[in-house]
Structure 1
């Protein structure tokens, strides 16, 4: 990406693909892009969820197409890239937001649980980045990491390992793909999503601990992450690459 004097934070006129974009943080990012004038393909493994996401995006005036994607399957990602480009033109923005989490201690975790977390959360980022970057001449890749990459979280060994790897992939691919393609990561803290919501809602003691430790005294909504994604995808961030930006309300001591 060449230097620019345009510091406006907007993705208007850009084409985006959000993998894992039918729920939670990914969905919020896809909708934020569309509201700001981007055309967006929002995808996941579920045909029904993808169709619903496409309808939401069209209601916001975005061009889109409904195509599913399983990040564990290279051919599935290649199909997504082709169909998204056929529908929108060259892709300017890729968001890697697909995620799962196995809840088990190191002594109880199965090989299948470990391999699934690593394959979806880490290897999926590798595959998607490689496939899309080969066809991108300019643009921005945003990986959704987690503060769990730097936090000791019990019964999250595979997830923490995968997200630490996402931070490493982010920095290494930023070096590989510069200067034309920027690569950054967003590391959310406790966000009220389908994945984290049940724990935050059902365990009052845990929720009280989170609120007490967080300087902002609450958890966030996915929309409070999407604004950072718009910035990182915009030309205003033309000199920002290889960064992992934590959005946790100050929960991590290193961020306050």
Structure 2
């Protein structure tokens, strides 16, 4: 007896990961490549784009060495056009660009607020507006955060931007259906090269997080990849407008 089902894989798909040269975005780019996808990992840094592209090729993916700035629609269009030209199309887009400013609600400046929301929220809008018209039966995956739904001190702009990302994800899912599915991932506390010192074992912050998290630890960035592969794959063909939380149970634990 056999049972037909759609496998969870991105093999043979063509993906663009904006913000894909560091942190969670880079892990997703590498994960897609290891699954058999061709992947363009892009950011503002040509050096990081080139380094990430080398690893993607080592993993067997075709790629394009191209930078972008999510505050500049022309640069996003350049990424889209080169991907379509060199890879033949775009099936998956991940918006993983990030910006953060640590200040209280009372103290955050207009400049810092505008910078964070321009990159983290308006950037998601620009990515969607740029790539969705070029996709056929495609999948967009936005990277949100627990900060969208939990109160975190000194992160008002970041929290507001991520809350907006989740609301925008639902709005875009409705408007772009049935051709393009739009979902989001809300990671919990994830160790990346950028925050390794902050979440290092033995620090007070790490101890507080581990104590509250039912799984008892923070995540490695590779642990976010599975959710991204699922949402980008044809196995999620009936999933749109959803936010998948990957936090070790942190949000469910009151104490």
TM-score by length of 1: 0.95
Q: What is the Cα deviation at residue 6 of structure 1?
A: 4.1
Cα distance in 2, alignment partners of residues 194 and 133 from structure 1: 31
Cα distance in 1, alignment partners of residues 47 and 250 from structure 2: 35
Higher relative contact order (CA 8 A, sep 6+): 1
Give 2:50's aligned residue: 51
| Count, aligned residues | 251
Question: Is the 2:212–2:253 contact (alpha carbons within 8 Å) kept by the matching residues of 1?
Answer: no
Give 2:66's aligned residue: 67
Give 1:189's aligned residue: 188
1:223-242 alignment runs, 5 A limit = 223-242=222-241
Question: Is the 2:214–2:248 contact (alpha carbons within 8 Å) kept by the matching residues of 1?
Answer: yes
Q: Deviations for 1:104-149, whole angstroms, at most 9, x for unmatched residues?
A: 1122211111011000000000001011001112110000000110
Give 1:32's aligned residue: 31
Cα distance in 2, alignment partners of residues 59 and 237 from structure 1: 28
193-202 vs 152-161, greater mean Cα deviation: 193-202
Q: What is the Cα deviation at residue 72 of structure 1?
A: 0.6
161-170 vs 83-92, greater mean Cα deviation: 83-92
Cα distance in 1, alignment partners of residues 119 and 196 from structure 2: 20
Cα distance in 2, alignment partners of residues 238 and 202 from structure 1: 39
Gaps of 5+ in 1: none
Runs of 4+ that moved beyond 3 A: none
Q: Deviations for 1:10-37, whole angstroms, at most 9, x for unmatched residues?
A: 1111000000000111001001100010
Gaps of 5+ in 2: none
Cα distance in 1, alignment partners of residues 201 and 217 from structure 2: 15
Cα distance in 2, alignment partners of residues 239 and 62 from structure 1: 27
1:1-256 alignment runs, 5 A limit = 6-201=5-200, 204-253=203-252
Cα distance in 1, alignment partners of residues 97 and 68 from structure 2: 10
Secondary structure of residue in 1 paired with 2:9: coil
CA separation of 1:125 and 1:254: change in aligned 2, threshold 3 A: farther
Question: Is the 1:146–1:187 contact (alpha carbons within 8 Å) kept by the matching residues of 2?
Answer: yes
Question: Is the 2:173–2:180 contact (alpha carbons within 8 Å) kept by the matching residues of 1?
Answer: yes
23-32 vs 203-212, greater mean Cα deviation: 203-212
Q: What is the Cα deviation at residue 249 of structure 1?
A: 0.3
TM-score by length of 2: 0.95
* Aligned alpha-carbon RMSD (Å): 1.4
